[in-house]
Amino acid sequence: MEDRRSNTEFVHDLMELHPCGSMGQLLVIEALRVYCEKILAQDEKEILARDLKNEQEDKIPLISEGTWYIVARKTQELLDKKYEHNKYRQSKKRGKYDH
């Protein structure tokens, strides 16, 4: 049977109805943190260069790497604000995509 829940409903259910309870919540939050760090560890100039090259070659993806970088930065900022007492991040990298 096809799952017709929206992404918001699905994530809500992961957080509230996970078969592993609160451990499921921890996994979701940790996955967000790790993936954001992976994206933000990339060299910003290289991201810009790839985006420009793709644009020049008319190979524009649905979501550019630069856009993904911005979303990762904003998500990381929200995680940092929410969990600042945990101090799970030791350094912050700032660059062109930061607003």
Q: For residue 67, what pLDDT is reported?
A: 95
Q: For residue 98, what pLDDT is reported?
A: 52
Regarding predicted confidence, which is higher, 95 or 84?
A: 84
Inter-CA distances, 31 with 53, 75, 94, Å: 30, 12, 21
Average pLDDT, stretch 77-96? 69
Average pLDDT, stretch 6-18? 95
Average pLDDT, stretch 76-98? 69
pTM comes to 0.76
Tens-place pLDDT, residues 26-57 = 999 999 999 999 999 999 999 999 999 999 99
Inter-CA distances, 57 with 46, 49, 60, 67, 83, Å: 16, 12, 8, 18, 41
